[in-house]
Amino acid sequence: GAGVSQSPSNKVTEKGKDVELRCDPISGHTALYWYRQSLGQGLEFLIYFQGNSAPDKSGLPSDRFSAERTGGSVSTLTIQRTQQEDSAVYLCASSLLAGVAYFGPGTRLTVL
Amino acid sequence: GESVGLHLPTLSVQEGDNSIINCAYSNSASDYFIWYKQESGKGPQFIIDIRSNMDKRQGQRVTVLLNKTVKHLSLQIAATQPGDSAVYFCAENFSVRGTYKYIFGTGTRLKVLA
């Protein structure tokens, strides 16, 4: 079956521009996670959705970062006024309530 | 705690030898644990999982050991192959106010030497 998909796969933007990253979770998965991974480093938790609500936003690094999820499915991570330190791979994962989290291929964001 | 931008430790293993990757988890209430493998340019992929009511689980060439007393998890890979070269992450899952959260370890880079 279809896995988690993310778009775009690569995004190059100029400093100060806004970007939107999209995640399509596995159908029926109620939980959705966003992580950030800098080159050669570990996974940094950003935000977690259960259905359409986000009970844990503790990982969002600043108020420039926001995310929403609609219809218990697609999620969008928005970064406003991008900075060079936002450059990273943004990974999305989804799971059933208490099951294995399956990851998408990620979106590589480069801020020039 | 959370994995936040830390340099990855590296384990170098000769092809054909066994590999052991270790992970210390943070929350004694965690009841579900997963090992992921991440190859270059890809998202993490599920390898094997274990629940807290078990202390060992075996898969194909992989074994996960759980020691709840010291909050330690290990992944053993038998007869390591070049295709095993990747970064390996452990993840713990626990319930927070009725929802479930994953916390990832810092990751270990496995290099298989020919």
**Tens of pLDDT along A7-26?**
999 999 999 999 999 999 99
Q: Best mutation site among B4, B8, B10 for testing chain A: the one with the most A CBs within 10 Å?
A: B4
Half-sphere exposure of B24 (CA within 13 A, CB side): 2
**Cβ separation B100–A35 shorter than 8 A:** no
Q: How confident is the model at residue B5 (pLDDT cuts 50, 70, 90)?
A: very low
**Cβ separation B100–A42 shorter than 8 A:** no
Give the residue from A18, A43, A41 showing the smallest Cα distance to A33.
A43
Angle at A82 between CA A63 and CA A59, to 5 degrees: 40
Q: Best mutation site among B101, B103, B111 for testing chain A: the one with the most A CBs within 10 Å?
A: B101
Q: Tell me, what's the pLDDT at A1? A: 54
Range of the domain at B76: 10-113
Q: For A34-46, what is each residue's pLDDT tens digit? A: 999 988 788 888 9
Phi, psi dihedrals of residue B92, rounded to the nearest 5°: -110, 145
Question: All domains of chain A, ordered by start, with CATH?
Answer: 13-91 (2.60.40.10)
Q: Tell me, what's the pLDDT at A98? A: 72
Question: Rounded to a whole number, what is the distance in Å from the CA of B68 to chain A's nearest CA?
Answer: 19
- Report the DSSP pairing between strands A107-111 and A10-13: parallel
Is pLDDT of B7 > 80?
A: no
> Which among B5, B95, B101 is the nearest to A48, CB-wise?
B101
Judge contact between B35 and B59, C-beta under 8 A: no
Contacting residues of B for A50, CB less than 8 Å apart: 99-100
Q: For A58-88, what is each residue's pLDDT tens digit? A: 889 999 999 999 988 999 999 999 999 999 9
Give a yes or no: residue B5 inside a domain: no
Question: Rounded to a whole number, what is the distance in Å from the CA of B48 to chain A's nearest CA?
Answer: 10
Q: For B23-74, what is each residue's pLDDT tens digit? A: 999 888 888 999 999 998 899 999 999 999 999 999 999 999 999 999 999 9
Contacting residues of B for A41, CB less than 8 Å apart: 5-8, 107
Is pLDDT of B79 > 70?
A: yes
d(CA B1, CA B18): 29
Give the residue from A27, A69, A35 showing the smallest Cα distance to A52.
A69
> Which among B34, B42, B104 is the nearest to A43, CB-wise?
B104
Give a yes or no: residue B34 inside a domain: yes
Looking at the structure of chain B, the number of domains it has is 1
Chain B contact present for A56, CB below 8 A:
yes
Q: Tell me, what's the pLDDT at B50? A: 96
Give a yes or no: residue B2 inside a domain: no
Contacting residues of A for B45, CB less than 8 Å apart: 103
Largest interatomic CA distance in chain A: 39
Three-class HEC string of chain A? CCCCEEECCEEEECCCCCEEEEEECCCCCCEEEEEEECCCECCEEEEEEECCEEEECCCCCCCCEEEEECCCCCEEEEECCCCHHHCEEEEEEEECCCCCCEECCCEEEEEC
Top-confidence residue, A67 or B101: A67
Give a yes or no: residue B3 inside a domain: no
Q: For A81-103, what is each residue's pLDDT tens digit? A: 999 999 999 999 999 877 889 99
Which are the contacts of B13, defined by CB distance < 8 A and separation ≥ 6?
B19, B80, B110, B111, B112, B113
> Which among A97, A105, A106 is the nearest to B100, CB-wise?
A97
Give a yes or no: residue B60 inside a domain: yes
